[in-house]
A and B are shown apart, each in its own frame.
Chain A
Amino acid sequence: MSAHSRLRITVGVLAAVAAVAAPWLVDAYGAALLARTLVLGLVAVSVTLLTGVAGLPTLGQTGPFAAAAYACALLGLHVSPAGSIGVVQLLAGATVGALFALLTSPLVVPARGVVLLMITLAIGELVTIAAGRWRPVTGGTDGLTVFAETRPVWGLPPLADDRARYLYALAVVAVVVGGLFLALRGPAGLLLRARRDDEQRLRASGHGAAGLVLAAFVAAGAIAGVAGSLLVTTQQYVSPAEFGFDVATLLLLGAVIGGTGSLGGAIVGTAVVLGARDWLSGILPGRAPLLLGLVFVGAAYAFARRGAEPGLPSLPLARPRGPRFARSRLWRRREPRTAS
């Protein structure tokens, strides 16, 4: 075992211990905040799956996240007002998120690069606006409050306080991220990374890109859907403000800070970004957006430059260039001209 992998295991074990112990180090409100961070971190994992691993930059993962959160809230309000079962909620969330991705797939699957960013942004924003306008079902901007208690599975006691809800979210996130990690170590991960690095070559070697991209979007939608169901369980409330444009960009920033295609990094990055935002609005009420904007600009520089340096992890879209053209700003990769 190399020193590097030993270090990685040590850091992983320490992080796991800290994550489990965290709710006892803070008060109930802090535990609720941590749970919320975890939930958004899971959405950022789905962003990383698309942006970092598959090379499909997205600003629209708030769409399946919101659709699943509302579906689970409605489920809790109208179907099982006495108390819902966590596993059922999670499955419902994953299904709705995957269905959302499937329904919007004709919009996103043919698009790449900056067009994809634009289309996903429009989709995410339209979902938020629809949630705000569709008052009879979503409660409009007032949101929906779901008081029903959740039992993780049949027979277990309900999640009574914020600490229990945090631990429940932690367990679910660990299972989902672990499963995704294992899946990405197999052929699926190889194919996705291959598509990111050179789609034309992937096609030339006989793999269909469209089906792969569709699968990536559906999987990411299901993960965001699980996060949506966790959001309802942990904070027992949903409103359109949870899914705005600013949240979508915060998630993208979290995923970028986390590093190329690193699933755990996405959660840590999101935690850092959310922490910075809350800290800034705490010390400088009113000026926080200005400073947060500067953080975004700084992060863009910090992570854009990295791509050019050899040996450092590159930004998902800063593709490795050939040595001949490495310094020429005029050169850019010739994209395939054919449609998919």
Chain B
Amino acid sequence: MLRLDAYVIPALDGVVYGLLLFVVAAGLVLCFGVADILNLAHGTLYAVGAYTAAALWNGGWPALLVGLAVAPVAAGAAGAAVAGLLAPVARRDHLAQALLTFGVALAGGSLLVAAFGPDDLPVRVPAALAGTVEVAGHRYSAYRLVFLVAGTALAVLLHAVVARTRAGMLVRAAADDAEMVAALGFSPARVRLGVLASAGALAGLGGALGAPIIGPGPGAAPTVLLLSLVVVVLGGTAGSAGSAGSVGSVGRTLVAALAVGEIQSLGVALAPGAAPFLLFGAMAVVLAGRSLAKSAGPIRTWRPARAWLRT
């Protein structure tokens, strides 16, 4: 019992980490699945949100709310700017898109360091959130508990938006068949702009909420980008021949994000130093299993997004 007890806190941390990754990775899934873009500046958009929040927060409640409102707007605007830069690049030109977004990430990271300094920015949350509370005999950070609630609410909200609203319907349709959506009269350029701006807003919101967890600093952008890439890979990009392939559902992205969070937290507690190998292993198992499942069955054109659209 005592041995098990020692892993309660890392497990809870893993859930918090996973929810944070879910918010950020949801933006990446959107870029990737709908606009068919690998946005290498996504981690930088997280950093924009985190820096904005940290700069605005002064330890009071009004500042906290202002920060939470402004950070997604700032990062969303940055995402729209990326969409503007990408406008002249052809939709199929993935290599140019990767080079361009990486250039934006480099330049953006450099500008953030120039504006806020090379050290990690201190993050001041209200005193009530900064302390710890007692949970089942353990002391746990109050902020992370609140984040747990907020993150869960966000996941439910995202699912509702994608499943129930008109915008969500457009997103699902564009992920499934972008040409058909274009033929129905939705300008692909505007869809792309909307998608990249929303993805940026999600990254920015993740950055603001996650500032006390993965703090604003030069190391935040690459860490967040890599982990959310792994989440996207695990959560549902069928490695099929078509690159416009499938986007995982919100639920599958959430499960993948929680798995990565647990690997990063519980996995490190159980087997220190093994986290990168565990992430590798998880990716290998999931992708190999998926390609096996695909080649085995007679249904070869099954794509989750399509099945999902019909429900």
Interface residues of A (CB under 8 A from B): 51, 57, 59, 104, 106-107, 110-119, 121-123, 125-127, 129-130, 133-135, 199, 245-246, 249, 252-253, 256, 287-290, 292-301, 303-305, 307-308, 315-319, 329-333, 335-340
Contact = CB atoms under 8 A, between A and B. Distances in A.
Contacts of B183: 330
Given A119-B233, A304-B93, A318-B90, A339 B291 contact: yes
B34 interface: no
How many B residues are at the interface, by size bracket? 35 or more
A-side interface mostly: helix
Contacts of A340: 240-241, 291, 295
Contacts of B273: 133-135
9 residue pairs, one from A and one from B, having the closest CB atoms: A113-B243, A296-B103, A293-B107, A293-B106, A335-B242, A304-B96, A300-B100, A111-B239, A290-B110
B240 A294 contact: no
B276 A126 contact: yes
20 contacts: A110-B240, A113-B242, A115-B243, A119-B239, A121-B40, A122-B226, A134-B273, A245-B222, A249-B40, A293-B104, A296-B100, A297-B100, A300-B100, A303-B96, A304-B93, A316-B95, A318-B93, A330-B183, A338-B240, A339-B241
B235 to A, nearest CB: 12
B190 interface: no
Nearest to B268: A133
Interface of B: 32, 36-38, 40, 85, 88-100, 102-111, 114, 178-179, 182-183, 188-189, 222, 226, 229-230, 232-233, 237-245, 273, 275-277, 279-280, 283-284, 287-288, 291, 294-295, 300-301
Contact of B96 (A127, A290, A315): A315
B100 A336 contact: no
Given A126-B230, A245-B226, 12 more contacts: A115-B245, A121-B226, A122-B229, A292-B103, A293-B102, A297-B99, A315-B96, A330-B182, A338-B240, A338-B300, A339-B300, A340-B240
A221 to B, nearest CB: 16
Contacts of A335: 241-244
